[in-house]
Structure 1
Amino acid sequence: MSSLTFTEQTQQIPIVNLSELDPSLPGGDQWEAARAAVAAALRLHGCFDAIYAPLSPELRDSLFCHAVSELLALPLEVKLRNSSDEPFQGYIGQIPNMPYESLRVDSAPSPSAVEEFTQLMWPQGNPTFRNAVIAFTRPLQDLMKIVHRMILESFGVESLYESFQSSISHGLRLSEYGVPFDKETKIAMVSHIDPNLMTIVCQHEVEGLEVKTADGDWIKVVPSPNSVTVMIGQAFQVHIVGKFDVLDRAWTNGRLRAPVHRVKMTGDEGRFSALYGSRPNYNSIVQTPEEFINEENPRLYRPYNYTEYMKFRYSDEGKGHKDPFISFCGIGQETTA
Structure 2
Amino acid sequence: MGSNSKQVSEIPIVDLTGLQPSLPSGERWEAAKAAAAAALQSHGFFEAIYPSLSAELRGEMLGRAAPEFFSLPLESKRRSTSEEPYQGYIGQAAPIPYESLRIDAVDSPIAVQDLTRLMWPQGNPTFFNAVVAFAKPLRDLAEMVQEMILQSLGVDQKHYDALVNLTDHGLRLSHYGVPVNQETEIALFPHLDPNLLSIVCQHEIGGLEFQIAGGSWVNAEPSPTSVHVMAGLAFQAWSNMSVRAPMHRVRMLGNEKRFSAIYGTRPSHNSIVKSPEELADAGRGPLLYKPFNYTELVRFLCSKQGMGHSPEDAFNSYCKLQN
* TM-score normalised by length of structure 2: 0.94
Partner of 1:309: 297
Q: Does 1:198 align with 2:186?
A: no
Secondary structure at the aligned position of 1:58 is classed as: helix
Partner of 1:298: 286
Partner of 1:174: 173
- Alignment check: 8 A CA contact 2:272 2:294 kept: yes
Partner of 2:104: 106
Distance in structure 2 (CA, Å) of the matches to 1:197 and 1:9: 26
- How far the C-alpha of 1:84 sits from its partner, in A, is 1.3
Q: Residue 260 of structure 1: which of 247, 257, 267 is its match?
A: 247
- How far the C-alpha of 1:320 sits from its partner, in A, is 2.4
Secondary structure at the aligned position of 2:25 is classed as: coil
Q: Does 1:94 align with 2:81?
A: no
Q: Does 1:286 align with 2:262?
A: no
5+ unaligned residues in a row in structure 2: which ranges? Answer: 1-5
Partner of 1:213: 212
Change (3 A) 1:10 1:112: closer
5+ unaligned residues in a row in structure 1: which ranges? Answer: 1-7, 243-254
Q: Does 1:271 align with 2:271?
A: no
- How far the C-alpha of 1:174 sits from its partner, in A, is 0.3
Partner of 1:320: 308
Distance in structure 2 (CA, Å) of the matches to 1:274 and 1:9: 22
- Alignment check: 8 A CA contact 2:7 2:219 kept: no
Length, aligned pairs only:
314
- How far the C-alpha of 1:12 sits from its partner, in A, is 2.7
- How far the C-alpha of 1:158 sits from its partner, in A, is 5.2
Partner of 1:132: 130
CA offsets, 1:124-175, max 9 Å, x none? 1001100000000000000111001000000101512222111110100000
* TM-score normalised by length of structure 1: 0.90
CA offsets, 1:183-206, max 9 Å, x none? 100011111110000000000111
Distance in structure 1 (CA, Å) of the matches to 2:112 and 2:137: 15
- Alignment check: 8 A CA contact 1:149 1:158 kept: no
Partner of 1:62: 60
CA offsets, 1:291-319, max 9 Å, x none? 11258622221110011111111111222
Secondary structure at the aligned position of 1:316 is classed as: coil
Distance in structure 1 (CA, Å) of the matches to 2:305 and 2:27: 50
Distance in structure 2 (CA, Å) of the matches to 1:85 and 1:293: 37
Distance in structure 2 (CA, Å) of the matches to 1:263 and 1:298: 35
- How far the C-alpha of 1:9 sits from its partner, in A, is 8.6
- How far the C-alpha of 1:14 sits from its partner, in A, is 1.3
Change (3 A) 1:171 1:296: closer
Residue type of the alignment partner of 2:291: P
In the TM superposition, structure 1's runs of 4+ consecutive aligned residues that sit over 6 Å from their partners are none
- How far the C-alpha of 1:11 sits from its partner, in A, is 3.8
Partner of 2:229: 230
Larger RCO (CA within 8 A; separation ≥ 6): 2
- Alignment check: 8 A CA contact 2:63 2:203 kept: no
Single out whichever of 323-332 and 187-196 deviates more from structure 2. 323-332
- Alignment check: 8 A CA contact 1:12 1:221 kept: no
Q: Does 1:12 align with 2:2?
A: no
- How far the C-alpha of 1:22 sits from its partner, in A, is 1.1
User: For the aligned residues, what is the CA RMSD?
Assistant: 1.5
Distance in structure 2 (CA, Å) of the matches to 1:91 and 1:67: 15
Residue type of the alignment partner of 1:196: N
- How far the C-alpha of 1:287 sits from its partner, in A, is 1.2
Change (3 A) 1:141 1:10: closer
Distance in structure 1 (CA, Å) of the matches to 2:137 and 2:309: 38
Distance in structure 2 (CA, Å) of the matches to 1:296 and 1:240: 11
